[in-house]
Structure 1
Amino acid sequence: MGFQRAYILILLIAINLSSFAQDRDSALQNASQIPAKYYSTVNKKISGINEQLTKKALKYLAKFQRQEQKLQQRLQKLHPELALNNAADKYNEFSQKIKNKTSGIAKVVGGEYSPYMDSLGTSLSFLKQFNGVSDKVKNPLENFDLLQGNFQESEKIKAFIAQRKNELKDILSKYTHLPPGLKKEYDQLSKTAYYYSAQVQEYKDMMKDPKKIEQKALVILNKLPAFQKFMKENSQVASLFRIPSNYGTTQNLTGLQTRSSVQALIQQRIAAGGPNAQSQIQQNLAQAQAELNEVKDKFSQLMGQGGADPEMPNFKPNSQKTKTLLRRLEYGFNVQFAKSSSLLPSTANLALTVGYKLNDKSSLGVGASYNIGMGTIRHISISSQGLGLRSYLDWKIKKQFYASGGYELNYNSAFNNIEQLKNYAAWQRSGLIGISKKYPITKKTKGEMKLLYDFLAAKHIPVTSPILFRIGYSF
């Protein structure tokens, strides 16, 4: 009898080991389907953000320290007793941590949960288990851990800067009439504090925007039961809230009250309170809401004028300031049609543009166009009718409407070689001013209509229409 039990136990263990081996082989087989480019793409993205985050942290720390010293020097001259203690050691400590990459690594970054960061970090840890891909995962995982540490350190820097700013604000609040010089220095310091916070958030947003190859890898992994189990046990959420093994099963719901039973209990309690119980409850809720609104108003007053955010200085921020060069570029395409004349056929002017967002209201750009001759209605004939170079400036007036201007050079005839284009006198000049409307089509694409007036049209040979209408897209 004992022999039979031992045999059954050994058989069950063998079956479980075989099943585990099959699951692991299946996971490895699916993991090998992830393109090799995925690892280099992730590593390049993470290391790039790490490098930028380090540079910006050092830059803003040094800038904030200079501005604080300047303000402190003014305070020292006016009221030496009000000056703050010197925090040079603290600034140096933060700088050394950033340079030496000695900041600690936390599982949850900066108190803000990012689903994609969680999935990315956990997936890299999962892939590290397999011999076939562990070497590819090594660098991305190391850089990811470093990025978590950098984000954690940036939160400490933000807290330190906010603390110093608030201490200076408390000192300045003792003045009945704040000297203009002190106010100017404090405003500059507030801007630096705000833009550092916005810069860190920009890098976090960049990490939340996965590329197609990253999405493809997560799709492959999410199909694996082994990865799903690994996520439940090792993700950031799992480290905060340990998920039970029977989560999502009917056994886990045993003993919990249903929605209908809770509603029935509430109705029973209201009925027991008498005929006026319902109205009394409504009055109590209204009173609680009024008290909550009062608390909100008081909090807003404490935070600053107009109920502004405590980190928001009294200026209109430029959200483009914290973006990288590529994220500030906008690309466009537009088309313009011209009627035929006795000397020229009807044409379609096709243009590609690239613009740089100066701020949230304006953009400056350049472009190139190509003229395609289409002949007439009676005789359609496709031909080359030259090319053009253009520049433009758009300035937001209100909502979707912009003031637009630009300067263009157009070579309005066919050419056989580059030498012909070097004749500057053959280029037709246009000075444009007008209005444009940009309207959203998708999340990243906008439609665009431009109505422009060419105030150099009278000098064209032959004379052209001064009114131009263009339609296109920007993204």
Structure 2
Amino acid sequence: MKQIPVKQKLPLFLIILFAPLLAQALADSVFNFPGKEISTIDKKYNALNDRLEKQLAKTLAHFAKQEKKIQKKLVAKDSSAIALFASSHQQYEQLQQQLKNPLKGKRVANYIPGLDSLQTASKFLQQSGILKNDKLGEVRQLSNDLQKLEGSLYSAEQIEVFIKQRKALLTSQLEKFGMTKELTSLKKQVYYYRQQIEEYKNLFHDQKKLEEKALATLRELPAFQSFMQKNSYLAQLFPSSNGAGTGDPATAIAGLQTRASVQSILQERLGATSLPSPGNTSAAAVNPLDESMQMAQQQLNTLKDKVNKLGGANSDLDMPDFKPKTQKTKTFLQRLEPGIIIQSSGSSKFLPGILDLGLSLGYKLSDKSTVGLKAAWKSGLGHPIKDIHFSSEGVNMGAFIDIKIKKSWWLSGGGEYNYLQSFKSLQELHANVKVWQQSALLGISKKVKASRRSRNVQLLYDFLWKREVPAAQPLKFRVGVGL
């Protein structure tokens, strides 16, 4: 058989004929994102939108109810105050209707990178043709739900503007008649509303693995990079002539200095040989401003966090004249604190060495108090210790409460039920109810935050230790690890 020389090129008509197929195959090999995962992302943000809409409707109704109470008290003191509430009822109704029908295409005032990335990615997937038809429907649904969610966030900002106006309007009247209680309550509602909305927006900053996987795969495509630079919301906020971020002096925003002019000034005044640029990475090693710029960036990030806590960039930064409760705006799941409990006790004349392994689930009532439930399995370690073997020697169940004393020190207490007999099945625990013994515990805890997990060391005294048969140890030392 005659072999084709390596240097011989394919005919031009074959390249033209198979180019679309090769491009499609290459795109499918680069981006192979299962429709099931697209559906999972869509369900997540659809559920988030439903939760946000319910929260906004509930908050708006609460504001309307509170304003009616204020209206009744103000009119009783000054009949002319009725003019302040002439159109408020209609405004509340309009906002409620807007919540039921979110406005699509509206952009939130604060830029949310996560939301922008997902929306731009969904547009790219619909227009690029790199997905199969059976997945396009799910991508379109995701795009619609993201637009609906941004519409809800836009409504949330409109509600914030409205309640700020109502607060400014009513404050002078409340101060005039000395209604400090109502004024403080109004300020708290406005503050906590801002915090609640920031909690929802922050969910986009904490991208989960599923979204990161999709975006990381897309970012590898040059076509998506170009699409992102031209069609993202950020590109609309800061347009450039070619979308690559270089900028054209003709289209530059008036009053802003160019990179070249800033670099020239710094070189002249500070003697820097060069500044790092996209095409000059070696200059970064000799740039004396690197360390200062990093420190400045850290300070800016810290300041940005403080600004967000006080209401965000689009809000008036009113310093609260009360101590905010940071847990008030948290969801039920965000207040939960799961953990692992480990406790050991030495062997005695009657009992082998025992290791308690358990789980706890706390609920933060506030920053200074937590209540919860726990359960542990008592494993025998053998008697004496050289004869190690594991056995089921009992069960521990109970409730606990932690109250903060100072800094990382807490007052801990609770009640427990202990099953102190060997068992082989759970039916024995239910059958021998009289065997269960009680414990009343009180002591101190030291909570330390290490990395993302918390460590909890407890020393507790059991006031009922003498009632246990055989008698247990009065002091209990426990170590807990947050999940």
- From 200, 203, 206, the equivalent of 2:200 is 203
Question: Contact conserved, 1:50 with 1:147, CA < 8 A, in 2?
Answer: yes
CA distances 1:73-95 after superposition (whole Å, capped 9, x unpaired): 11111112234132100000111
Within 5 Å, which residues of 2 pair with 1:19-418? Answer: 23=23, 25-31=25-31, 33-83=32-82, 84-86=84-86, 87-99=88-100, 101-106=101-106, 108-109=107-108, 111-129=109-127, 130=129, 132=132, 133-175=135-177, 178=178, 182-245=179-242, 247=244, 257=260, 261-263=264-266, 265-266=268-269, 310-311=317-318, 313-375=320-382, 376-418=384-426
Question: Contact conserved, 2:240 with 2:248, CA < 8 A, in 1?
Answer: no
- SS of the counterpart of 2:390? strand
- SS of the counterpart of 2:239? coil
Q: Offset at 1:472?
A: 2.2
Query: Is 1:425 matched up with 2:434?
Result: yes
Question: Contact conserved, 1:363 with 1:393, CA < 8 A, in 2?
Answer: yes
- SS of the counterpart of 1:89? helix
- SS of the counterpart of 1:465? coil
Question: Contact conserved, 1:371 with 1:387, CA < 8 A, in 2?
Answer: yes
Question: Contact conserved, 2:368 with 2:403, CA < 8 A, in 1?
Answer: yes
Aligned length: 415
Farther off after superposition, 124-133 or 148-157: 124-133
CA distances 1:7-34 after superposition (whole Å, capped 9, x unpaired): xxxx999989987875555334433x11
2-side partners of 1:442 and 1:149: how far apart? 36
CA distances 1:180-225 after superposition (whole Å, capped 9, x unpaired): xx32223222222222222211111123222212111111111111
2-side partners of 1:64 and 1:335: how far apart? 47
Q: Offset at 1:406?
A: 1.1
| 1:474 counterpart residue number | 482
- 1:13/1:75 Cα in 2 relative to 1: closer, same or farther (>3 Å)? farther
- 1:17/1:441 Cα in 2 relative to 1: closer, same or farther (>3 Å)? farther
2-side partners of 1:62 and 1:343: how far apart? 63
CA distances 1:323-345 after superposition (whole Å, capped 9, x unpaired): 22222211100211101110001
Q: Offset at 1:241?
A: 1.4
Question: Contact conserved, 2:466 with 2:472, CA < 8 A, in 1?
Answer: yes
Q: Offset at 1:124?
A: 1.1
User: Structure 1 counterpart of 2:480, which letter?
Assistant: G
Query: Is 1:441 matched up with 2:450?
Result: yes
2-side partners of 1:12 and 1:163: how far apart? 69
1-side partners of 2:169 and 2:193: how far apart? 18
CA distances 1:136-179 after superposition (whole Å, capped 9, x unpaired): 2121111100011111111010010011011111222334xx1x
1-side partners of 2:346 and 2:58: how far apart? 56
- SS of the counterpart of 1:128? helix
- 1:115/1:246 Cα in 2 relative to 1: closer, same or farther (>3 Å)? closer
CA distances 1:234-269 after superposition (whole Å, capped 9, x unpaired): 1111111123438477999xx96476742464489x
Question: Contact conserved, 1:38 with 1:213, CA < 8 A, in 2?
Answer: yes
2-side partners of 1:211 and 1:264: how far apart? 42
User: Structure 2 counterpart of 1:262, which letter?
Assistant: I
2-side partners of 1:456 and 1:424: how far apart? 18
Q: Offset at 1:354?
A: 1.1
- 1:24/1:420 Cα in 2 relative to 1: closer, same or farther (>3 Å)? closer
2-side partners of 1:223 and 1:460: how far apart? 65
Q: Offset at 1:386?
A: 1.3
- SS of the counterpart of 1:430? strand
TM-score with structure 2 length normalisation? 0.79
- SS of the counterpart of 1:192? helix
Farther off after superposition, 445-454 or 190-199: 190-199
Identity %: 38
User: Structure 2 counterpart of 1:95, which letter?
Assistant: Q
| 1:275 counterpart residue number | none
User: Structure 1 counterpart of 2:426, which letter?
Assistant: I
- 1:398/1:21 Cα in 2 relative to 1: closer, same or farther (>3 Å)? farther
| 1:293 counterpart residue number | none
Q: Offset at 1:121?
A: 1.0
Farther off after superposition, 11-20 or 166-175: 11-20
1-side partners of 2:248 and 2:97: how far apart? 53
1-side partners of 2:372 and 2:213: how far apart? 35
- SS of the counterpart of 1:414? coil
Question: Contact conserved, 2:240 with 2:246, CA < 8 A, in 1?
Answer: no
Larger relative contact order, structure 1 or 2 (CA cutoff 8 Å, min sep 6): 1
2-side partners of 1:47 and 1:147: how far apart? 8
Question: Contact conserved, 2:175 with 2:183, CA < 8 A, in 1?
Answer: no
- 1:125/1:385 Cα in 2 relative to 1: closer, same or farther (>3 Å)? same
- SS of the counterpart of 2:328? coil
- 1:250/1:143 Cα in 2 relative to 1: closer, same or farther (>3 Å)? closer
TM-score with structure 1 length normalisation? 0.80
1-side partners of 2:267 and 2:324: how far apart? 52
Q: Offset at 1:322?
A: 2.2
- 1:12/1:186 Cα in 2 relative to 1: closer, same or farther (>3 Å)? farther
Task: Please give the root-mean-square deviation of Cα atoms over the aligned residues, in Å.
Answer: 2.9
- SS of the counterpart of 1:122? helix
Farther off after superposition, 75-84 or 159-168: 75-84
- SS of the counterpart of 2:444? strand
1-side partners of 2:270 and 2:349: how far apart? 86
1-side partners of 2:117 and 2:40: how far apart? 16
Question: Contact conserved, 2:229 with 2:244, CA < 8 A, in 1?
Answer: no
Q: Offset at 1:416?
A: 2.9
Question: Contact conserved, 1:401 with 1:437, CA < 8 A, in 2?
Answer: yes
Question: Contact conserved, 1:67 with 1:188, CA < 8 A, in 2?
Answer: no
Farther off after superposition, 141-150 or 114-123: 114-123
- 1:104/1:43 Cα in 2 relative to 1: closer, same or farther (>3 Å)? closer
Q: Offset at 1:103?
A: 2.4
- Structure 2: runs of 5+ lacking an equivalent: 1-10, 250-257, 272-309
- SS of the counterpart of 2:421? coil
- SS of the counterpart of 1:461? coil
